[in-house]
Structure 1
Amino acid sequence: MTTHTTRPGMTYSRNSDLSETDVSMWGHNPKNVAFIGDYLPRQCGIATFTSDLYLSYNSFISNSRALVVSVNDTPDGYDYPAEVRYDFYQHDHNAYRKAAEFLNSKDVDVVCLQHEYGIYGGPAGNYILTLLRNLTMPIVTTFHTILKDPNEDQLLVLKSIADLSSRVVCMSEKGRDFLINIYEIPAEKIDLIPHGIPDMPFVDPHFFKDKFGMEGKQTLLTFGLLSPNKGIENVIRALPRIVEQYPNVVYMVLGATHPNLLKHEGEAYRDSLKKLARDCGVRDNVRFYNQFVELDGLLEYLGAADIYVTPYLNPAQITSGTLSYAFGCGKAVVSTPYWHAEELLADGRGVLVPFGDSEAIATEIIDLLSDESKRHQMRKKAYLMGREMIWERAINAYANSFAHARQERMNTFNNQAIYAVGAHSSLAFKLPVLRLDHLFRLTDSTGIIQHARHHLPFYDEGYCTDDNARALILALTIQNTGLGDQKLAKAADNYCAFINHAYTEDHRRFRNFMSYDRRWLEEFGSDDSTGRTIWALGTCIGRSSDRNTVTWAMSLFEKVLPTVASMSSPRSWAFSLLGIYEYQKKFNDDRLAKTIERQLLDKLVFRYTETATEDWPWFENTLSYDNAVLAHVLIRSGDKQLVDMGLNSLRWLIDLQTASHGHFQPIGSNGFYTKGQPRAYFDQQPLEAQSTLSACLAAFEVTGEADWHRTAIRIFKWFTGYNDLGLPLYDQQTGGCRDGLHIDRVNQNQGAESSLSYLLALAELYTTQKQQPDAKSVNVAMPAMMNG
């Protein structure tokens, strides 16, 4: 074991096999660090620390790509800055598992957990263990509170966190001693890293006093969230003696009331302190600053202080961030002897007074105000030792700890959570066998060929990203029904690879058309093709159980998703929303996805309100292709008003596309249907049947109304002959689907879009059958023409 000394009385230990040279091989890696804790603007000391740690890591580690996962004490959370990529409610146990899934999909190198009792849910905060147990990367945990006499739950939780962590960090020798002797954590696993502080110059307090109207006054300062355990009343009781000798003394009490105290008692404690100051005759010598200050403001307050006072009431504080800041800025400190103060202020670096002893506080403050040389010497000792605590040095120590953790667990991962699925069941309508012969016929090592001549792939017209995205969605849907196999998984990899190659970094979009000799035919594809590919990526993330696939999809998803809001096509918005909904099956608390989801829904609603009338409740004045997807995304939005809007629009669309004999009759692609003009009845495309069926199943899932399921089955029958021509589009011999209904015949070609539309429709029905084990049998009541 090698022991490294950081300052007198403080050491940290590392394994001898990780020298400074070893760590330097990482080039200050890892770059992709995820910090977990609470976070500003939440008013909490840990939130401030996590924020400072993240910002400092990004400042001092070259090319850092760190992110933050924040835990909330309210269900609604906070208006976080952009670095908070994910947040969750502390009392939602399932959210911890989802947060782990999010991190596992982000290619994070190391997780740095900030642990404090009270910020995580469950007995003694044991919900955090669910998150840690499901992570696949090494964990470094900073313990902010280390109790000398923990209860059984507290002991078990801290020991369990340490077991799940590759390294643990404490901030004081006392804390290290407790971890070894009380919690039985191996010494070689512990890194002692002092509480980081800003690198502030050593300045005369008079430089800042004019900012607060304190010219010519002696200033005392206590800062931090206000609560009764801070002992501020003891300083106020000491003031009459101090003021007697130094009438110009002002005691500055800086800090908002602790949110938990404010919630239950309001400002009763602050008011009691003000009353005490009046009763002691020192009202004019005490100033309260009821605010939660940012770093720049805090440094000004600290700069103006002649003496910093921490009059805490009991010894059980292993770390004090406020003491660290004041000490490191070179303040003369008078403090009660809690654990961190005993360690930091030893050897003349500060003054200790007994707990609750106002007379002793008065004596020591008078002594320091009377002896400028002693006060300056104390300040200088504190400031020089504080140079070891500045954030740059603390971050280097954290980077070493992260590198060590990563080296230890580079190739080891925890078991990922396996989610059980519901039992199989069947509804009254017996679904056809799901055959993939034609899918594999169209698929080669590049991807899926977009067109066919009869059932044969038509190589002359190459590939398109649209169809590879559809094929990937299909593969994932089938795999989720339990009907997949290795051959389908291999095909899915080909579709992923095609999408990966289609991406263009210059435009943060996807190219669409590729020739058979693998030449891209455009600089970038349409809005709709990019939106559909986002849908496929979201489905990968939401449904795939393969970590590599999810991590790949996450990278592209995050790059492309922000571009969608600038697109003008409502279908691109809708396809992207379907991708977001699939993504949110795993990561419902991703704030970026939520923001874009809201933007896109607002855009669609605006289109609807601008266009819809009583007899045309729709988003556009023309019904063209893939119409139902616009209603579909509102139905799945979770917003009751939007759900109702989507259901109303879909009912209208279904009525419009239902023939007098009751069969599905989609809008024809040969002219479409513009409001006030004649409607096109042909050519009818399989895509319209699949899209409308999918929207109906979404309505069934949301409302539970069996009519929607019956309608979906009726639409599916369009593929098998329940249509205007009474001819099947599905080819039982090849497993493919013909390209559409002309006015007098079926198009005999079996291209990718048509065949994928049929297979997707069938796979979605299988999925619904599987997910609705308790659904009642559905009487489809097909007309006689379907039975003959």
Structure 2
Amino acid sequence: MALIGTFAPRKCGIATFSADIVEQLARFQSHVEVDVYALDNPDQPIRYEGVAGVIDERDRESFFETARIINESGVDAVWLQHEYGIFGGDDGQFVCDLVDRLAAPLILTPHTVLGEPSERQEAILSHLVNRASSIMVMSFHARDLLATRYGAPHEILTVIEHGAPDRPFGRQAEFKERLGLTGRDVLTTFGLLGPGKGLEYVIEALPAIVERHPAVLYRIVGATHPNLVAEQGETYREGLKARAAELGVADHIEWVDRFVDTEELLDQLEACDIYLTPYPNLQQSTSGTLSYAVALGKAVLATPYLHARELLRDGAGCLIEPESAQSIAREVNRLLDDRDALDALQRRAYAKGRETIWPRFAEGAAQLVEGAVAPAPRRAPVTATPGLTGVFAMSDATGMFQHAIGIVPDRRHGYCLDDNARALMLMNVAEGLKPTERARWTMRYASFVQHAWNEDARVFRNFMNFDRTWCEEEGSEDSNGRGLWALGATLENAPDADIRSWAQMWFDRTLPSLEEAGSPRAMAFTMLGCAARLRVDPDHGASRAVLERGGTFLAHLLDASRRPDWAWFEAVLGYDNPRLSQALIEAGMALGRPDFTAAGLETLDWIARQQTSAEGHFRPIGSDSFGHPRTHLPFDQQPLEAQAAIEAARAAFAATGEPRWIDHARIAWNWFHGANDRGVVLADLASGRCRDGINPRGANANCGAESILAFQLSHYSMIALEMASRGESGNADVGARNERTENTLAAS
């Protein structure tokens, strides 16, 4: 690929980032070769080494010539680092001349995405977006802003967090000794000095810090910004020194007045205890040194600028009030007073940093380039209704078969309650069926659910042989919870009043035996059934009681299992993971319990991040993860997880109205259609079938009931979600609910 941007040894953040891309790809992804085209300011000429070309940023013809050279070089892609101030013309508009002439696919990384740009700034970035085949940003805020303000298609947006070094944890003493700082409590700020750094607020905070911790030393590492030196000389630095002298803390500040390279910067950071980024500009979307400090396990105090809010979430650092010396002093003293708290914060930061170390960044960057030159995955429109041939081909007079070999039902494995409960839920919402056909298949699946009930044991059975003999007298707790959920969903959504009455009868009959489930998923499924019942009959006391108990149960599990980097209910990740969050969200909404809703949204946000790859596509928790504490593996990926993600996102959107949940649902939906780790299409719209998942070698060719139904139900949940986003309702959501509620209550 060709890489265009400022480049080392130029002293600016983008130059450092560009050099990092080249270095880390060469180190970890050497199959990606990079030709660098460095933007150069003729007023400050630099001697570059190892670059393919130099662009005079003031000369429009230089951009034309560079585009020609790049086209002639035959690169597979061009990766452009964009910032308004580094390209020539007003607001850097020469960049448009460049991209208009490039033949290879364009990867765009905008380092500044303005929420309130000038007319020309908006026109320039919109032009780049329209030309880009792929867009990579380092924050989710920038991604969302590109989509909403600049019209970037969701499918070309990728978030790759700023890369960071992978060094051992806890070497402060060693590096303090190297720098002659043994015995000092070291605070550090790094970067080109200028008013935008907020250093004056740290200096104002020092008297209160030094009073309680006399060993404190505040190290300000970095030269003054060259543009500021050109305009004002060292007036800003000298003003800071004068203020420190007035406050009597000059002896507690060390000025490292030079531009340090990356390796020296890392050594300087290793020697510090607390890293400060008190930036007053809260729109800053990227800070490379913030990423470095977190990865090195530093306790970070930062104002809530965009990058800090995202990187330091889940307790990886502390956010402080902007432009507040009091806030800085309070938090520094709190950490220095409590060394255990300081150590815990440093360890949380280090754990968070493992997500952004250079090998992971390089992997994401390589995949970004490869994805730009590969054919785009197929993405089916949500409105395209899947056929039902695949569903009915997997069914007979008894019910729906469990498994298939290819597309052919495998009778050896018979049937199960789980799949027939899902099939019944599908018949409630499926479109394009004649009433007689819907009734015929509804009867078969409902009859299976009904026959699965073991009156003697007061539980559902699950597995049935092909000869209609039961394999067991009691099914798993999870299958029992799913059976009750299907009854609640049928009571809520079935078009036929008689079927709704039947579902209510069996719901009330089975609930007393199932309401005390011990399995988290069984409880979640039961809660989802009860939430559906309450949407029909808000005064149903037994369902309200189940939601209260279940919500308390899940909240207790969350509190017991929570760790700084693990906001989840269990120490291991299983299947259908988002259902736990969905159950809490729906319980909170039904009961008016914002604490339940908040816990559900927090955990759903966490699991959604675990199930979103660095490239931005859906990566379900693989079944290989089962039994591995506090980690997850990518394979085997199964459609059930995508369905759960979509339906949990639907509940989250209902609770919050936040568009990001629609985005996440779309990502999970696109997983069926090729936006996945192997680029394989799993779903067939014509037949409505779906492959059984993704393994390391590609798609599992079998089309079992669970996979088919996950795809089918995902479609109708996506329809409901898209309609909800437009303020509409329909059969897949709440259509005719008032009439159905009247009929159900009358029947009862």
TM-score using structure 2 length: 0.50
The structure having more radius of gyration, on CA atoms, is 1
TM-score using structure 1 length: 0.47
